[in-house]
Amino acid sequence: MRIMVSADMEGATGVTWTDDVVPGTEPWQRFRRLFTGDVNAVLAGLFEAGASDVLVNEAHSSQRNLLLEELDPRARMLTGRHKPLSMMQGIDSGVDGVVFLGYHAGAGFDGVLSHTYLENQITGVWLDDVPASEGRLNAALAAEYGVPVLLVSGDDQACEDARDYAPEAELVPVKECVSRYAAICLPPARTAELLTAAALDSCVRAGQVERLPGRHRIEVEFDASHLAQATAVIPTVEQIGTRRVGFDAPSMTEAMKAFKVVTAIAAGAVQGIYG
């Protein structure tokens, strides 16, 4: 049984505001350990369930946040940026299941540090006309490779989102959203118990399932018109509103690669405090 863990940080135990997840800050150094603790708790359950190989894909920001020296030695870790499939690199390697750890709600929705790829320039993303978080986008990519989503952890809003895109997955809310920058948090000793138990239980669903290939459409809405204009120069991307662009792709893999380009161009078009 081979499992992949896509590990994001905003939905990790105790994380509630910007400095907790921005590399180089003092709080980030503290929450790197809590983040690594969440990953190790999931790994404990996966290996107890009989996993023979687990690849942890670092999926947050610089993608250099987890502490390798503190990681469960039975696991492997993919770290660093510029991976072709980004948060989901490794999903095409024949794994039997994927865990979404530390996930968060999407742009335009309530949730601790809610966003989709860009921290605040994107106000909404739609996949085939359905509002889409990173979790929904990544679940669609997993489905293309016949990989079931086994477990999703994050705040209660992230877990509620996952009920729709991964209805059979185990859900572990490690905190309850009060606002974008506040939450009622469970201590790490408690979240570790919950994560390990859920990971253990989730493995009964591990195993390749029917692949769901097909065309997809993604639309992205920004908080400023110039970002739509900047991204509309990308071949296949069309400006369909003052602040909105859309594009079609022959597969979810190609859709996510195009989405990466859109977000990269948009990020590069942001100018100081005016956005």
| 216 labelled binding-site residue | no
| 134 labelled binding-site residue | yes
| 8 labelled binding-site residue | yes
Told to judge if 226 belongs to the known catalytic residues of this protein, a careful annotator would answer: no
Give the contacts of 149 (CB within 8 A, at least 6 positions apart): 97, 98, 99, 100, 139, 142, 162, 165, 166, 169
| 223 labelled binding-site residue | no
Query: What secondary structure, in 3-state letters, does 132-148 show?
Result: CCHHHHHHHHHHHCCCC
| Catalytic-role residue among 82, 115, 216, 226 | 115
Rounded to whole angstroms, the Cα distance separating 118 from 116 reads 6
Looking only at the bridges linking them, the beta strands covering 53-58 and 122-127 are: unpaired
Q: Where are the alpha helices (DSSP H) in the chain?
A: 26-48, 134-144, 156-165, 188-202, 225-231, 252-268
Rounded to whole angstroms, the Cα distance separating 184 from 124 reads 26
| 82 labelled binding-site residue | no
Binding residues, as ranges, are 8, 10, 60, 104, 134
Binding residues for Zn(2+), as ranges, are 8, 10, 60, 104, 134
Residues that are catalytic = 115
